[in-house]
Structure 1
């Protein structure tokens, strides 16, 4: 059985159940802008980066794309989410055990998230930096964010591995599309939204019981 050349982990909704935190900060931003974020737009935001989130927010509230207002909205969202992150982040089922198993097996790892670096650093206080050989954040891919393949391609480049030999673990349609486009085998564990299963994707209800041999078996499918 093959071992993955690397395991590439998404963060929000995959390792930690942080989408519930984003629900609060996004609702607070929408209220500050004089509106209420629709459930449909909130669902589309899952897995997106800050720039796209602001566009979706302003479109949903019927607001013009005023650059300064959108930048201010992004700063508010980052600050509010950071406050909530510091209050504690719950693990997704099985995620902590899988991280430990991959680390113990000596398989290279990357954290590949659409969240910006500043917030990711706060989240890593909970997750643990030592689990990852590299971390790629949403503001570090020159605007080529998920669902484009660049975040996962960059992670593979930094690790010196072929994406085709990697397993990516994702929870959202946006992230799963990014990893699949990069050529990874994608283990999809949905959190808050359904994920259509496409080529190169395998669906699982949770990470409970997943270990390195199980990830290797995905490559042999």
Structure 2
């Protein structure tokens, strides 16, 4: 089977941004007079913004807090942090360069909302992606298959001929449900037993290897 496209998650997969999110989430918890636990932070990895706010508000004992207010505060803080630059995950920039040089269509598929993604694209390079699908541009976000199905649709390819690269259980579940072959590269949480091929990092990952996953 021919590889039609590679579909890439952003936070924790291409960019080492989960740690930046953690800083902002701790700041948000403190803003509300609480302290975020490690268990709550782990539960948020790969979760939608709505679910993350549910987890945080419950964790700090303030379930009555307004989701929209917390989301706006958090994303404003993230813009500040992202604007300082976000480091790449090991091997990610090199993999993108290799795939672009060989003409492989690429999609960025993220649960993060568009206005934050636009800041990150200053690091990632807008020219590197044929399609960008953000969390506020699909009816359901990860773990629903909608984001990956939408990316394949925009590229005009069969999702079954795509490799998705993810770092979270929700992201892996989304890509598997969409019918993609999945390469899981753990960042903050383990990813064994989720129906994906697991690699320690993207270092050394190349086109021949990705083709073997189909």
TM-score (norm 2): 0.97
CA distance in 1, matches of 2:2, 2:211: 5
Distance apart, 1:52 and its partner CA? 1.4
Deviations 1:74-106 (A, max 9, x none): 001000011000111111010001001111111
Q: Which residue does 1:109 correspond to in 2? A: 106
Question: What is the CA–CA distance in structure 2 between the aligned matches of 1:57 and 1:130, rounded to whole Å?
Answer: 35
The equivalent position to 1:75 in structure 2, one of 72, 75, 82, is 72
Q: State how far apart, in whole Å, the 2-side matches of 1:44 and 1:51 are.
A: 13
Partner Cα separation in structure 2 for residue 14 and residue 155 of structure 1: 17
Q: Which residue of 2 aligns with 1:188?
A: 184
Q: Please give the secondary structure, in 2, of the residue aligned with 1:139.
A: helix
Runs of 4+ that moved beyond 2 A: 196-199
Task: Give the TM-score normalised by structure 1.
Answer: 0.94
Gaps of 5+ in 2: none
Whether the aligned pair in 2 keeps the contact of 1:55 and 1:65 (CA below 8 Å) is no
2:203 maps to 1:208: yes
| 1:128 aligned partner | 125
Cα RMSD (Å): 1.0
Matching residue of 2:149: 153
The answer for the alignment partner of 2:163 in structure 1 is 167
Structure-1 residue corresponding to 2:96: 99
Residues of 1 paired with 2:42 and 2:192: CA distance?
A: 14
Please list every run of 5 or more consecutive structure 1 residues that lacks an aligned counterpart in the other structure.
Answer: none
Contact 1:4 1:165 (C-alpha < 8 Å) held by counterparts: yes
The answer to whether the 8 A contact 1:197-1:203 is kept is no
SS in 2 for 1:168: strand
The Cα of 1:59 is off from its aligned counterpart by: 1.5
Moved more, 201-210 or 2-11: 2-11
Alignment partners' CA distance in 2, 1:76 and 1:124: 21
CA contact under 8 A between 1:6 and 1:109: conserved in structure 2? yes
Question: Does the CA contact (< 8 Å) of 1:3 and 1:213 recur in 2?
Answer: no
**Residue 70 of structure 1: how far off its partner (Å):** 1.7
Query: How far apart, in 1, do the equivalents of 2:184 and 2:137 lie?
Result: 24
Number of residue-to-residue matches in the alignment: 214
Task: Give 2:44's aligned residue.
Answer: 45
How far has the Cα of 1:65 moved from its partner? 3.7
- Tell me what 1:19 maps to: 18
Shift of 1:198: 2.5
CA contact (8 A) 1:173 1:196 kept: no
